[in-house]
Amino acid sequence: MTKPLLRVLNGQAVWPPPMWLMRQAGRYLPEYRELRGQAGDFISLCTTPALAAEVTLQPIRRYGFDAAILFSDILMLPWALGHGLAFKEGEGPVLPRLTTGQDVSALDPSRVMAAVAPILETVQRTKAGLDDETALIGFAGSPFTVACYMVEGGGSKEFARIRGMAHGEPALFASLIDVLVESTVEYLSGQVTAGADAVMLFDSWAGVLSPRLFALHVIEPTRRIVAALRDRHPGTPIIGFPRLAGVLVGAYAAQTGVDAVALDTGAELSVATGLVPATVATQGNLDPLSVVAGGEAMAAEVRGVLDGARGRPHIFNLGHGIVPQTPPEHVAALVKQVRAA
């Protein structure tokens, strides 16, 4: 096992830490914007393997990151289940609002693998374009976060609808989570079979729940997905990202079985790593806005992350996705600083 990222996920403290950045393929890169202009809508881009693989590889060529991450979207799973999905420019995703048991019954797990076939082909093509040192990460949204978009009909500030459903209609909500758990296992298993070296579960809205609901709808579904993937693909590591989990990051790391926990921007490393078991690797957590500023402001933040990560298995990353207004030369300076650590 020579890939540095996989060594960390196997529990080794590699230094300097291997690095990649959430949303490293995307709008801040001129080569992405150029290709994006030629492609159709966002869903077409995600389901055209030649284009999606090219986009996935762009940041690897430019920066030599230690991992490529499949270019796709967490909402491709509900799309594959037959739930509607559209991306409106400047507005984010728009979905029909799931409100009833009939809406859950209308989701069709039997069509998922056919629908995601082009995405799995993207994984294969990307893998063929990577050298032996660079890992390929597949991913999916976590059931709770995917459910957020399905129940809210898109993003939200307060997520009052889904939190209301989780409290007030527990059986309905559990049935939705169950469908998503099973489909997510199939989808991620397909990505591993297609060549993903590791997979990551993005739970972007894990932080909106009470501790009781976090245990039920974040920890437990993640544990089930991890157990099923372990069973089918022993040795393929799994990274979990319970964003904004706050003090619950320790319970998440200890109880889900993930190999690594990704930490968000606010998760101060000296405290967070005290809550996470020593056997679980960490990933993160540079403030993406510091990369927009660049210079000494960014350098000071990077030092903070490196100081907090030293001595434990850690993957350098951001605490949230890179933002479109990030100057690409700041990313180059970031790579240089981390590589020199």
Catalytic residue list: 23, 27, 36, 73, 149
| Stretch of 24-32, 48-56, 163-171, 233-241 contacting a second copy, by CB under 8 A | 163-171
Using the contact rule CB under 8 A, the part of the chain among 39-47, 57-65, 68-76, 293-301 near a second copy is 293-301
**Closer residue to a second copy in complex, CB, 187/214:** 214
Alpha-carbon dihedral sign for residues 262, 266, 268, 271 = negative
What single-letter DSSP state applies at residue 247? G
Pick between residue 140 and residue 251 the one whose CB is nearest to a second copy.
251
Determine, following the binding rule CB under 8 A, whether residue 163 of this chain makes contact with a second copy: yes
Give dist(CA 140, CA 256) in Å, integer.
16
Distance CA 171, CA 165 (A): 9
Binding characters for a second copy, 202-241, by CB under 8 A (x = yes) = -----xxxxxxxx---------------------------
Structure tokens at 211: 């501790």
* One residue of 192, 200, 248, 261 binding a second copy per CB under 8 A: 248
CB of 164 to a second copy, least distance (A): 5
HSE at residue 232, side-chain half, CA atoms within 13 A, is 15
Which residues, 259 to 288, sit near a second copy by CB under 8 A? 264-269, 271-272, 275, 286-287
CB atoms within 10 A of CB 116: 26
Question: CA 20, 23, 28, 31: dihedral to nearest 10 degrees?
Answer: 80
**Closer to a second copy by Cβ: residue 61 or 88:** 88
Tell which one of 40, 101, 164, 277 touches a second copy (CB under 8 A).
164
- Binder among 195, 250, 262, 281 for a second copy (CB under 8 A): 250
The CB density around residue 129, as the number of other CB atoms within 10 Å, is 15
Q: Say how far apart CA 146 and CA 240 lie, in whole Å.
A: 14
| Of 13-21, 153-161, 190-198, 253-261: span binding a second copy (CB under 8 A) | 153-161
User: What gap in Å lies between CA 309 and CA 302, rounded to an integer?
Assistant: 11
Cα–Cα separations (whole angstroms), residue 41 to 54, 126, 140, 151: 16, 21, 20, 24
When binding is defined by CB under 8 A, the residue of 30, 40, 101, 170 that contacts a second copy is 170
Under the binding rule (CB under 8 A), the answer on residue 327 touching a second copy is no
Could you tell me the two tokens for 246? 């706050």
Q: How far is the CB of 243 from a second copy (least distance, A)?
A: 10
Is residue 244 within the footprint of a second copy (CB under 8 A)? yes
> Between the CA of residue 224 and those of 9, 112, 179, 248, 282, what are the distances in Å?
20, 19, 12, 18, 21
Question: Least distance from C-beta 327 to a second copy, angstroms?
Answer: 11
Q: Is 27 exposed, middle or buried (0-12, 13-18, 19+ CB in 10 A)?
A: middle
- Enter the DSSP assignment of 158: S
Please report whether residue 49 would count as binding a second copy according to CB under 8 A: no
For a second copy, the binding residues (CB under 8 A) are: 155, 157-158, 160, 163-164, 166-168, 170, 207-214, 244-251, 264-269, 271-272, 275, 286-287, 289-290, 292-293, 297-298, 300-301, 304, 319, 323, 325
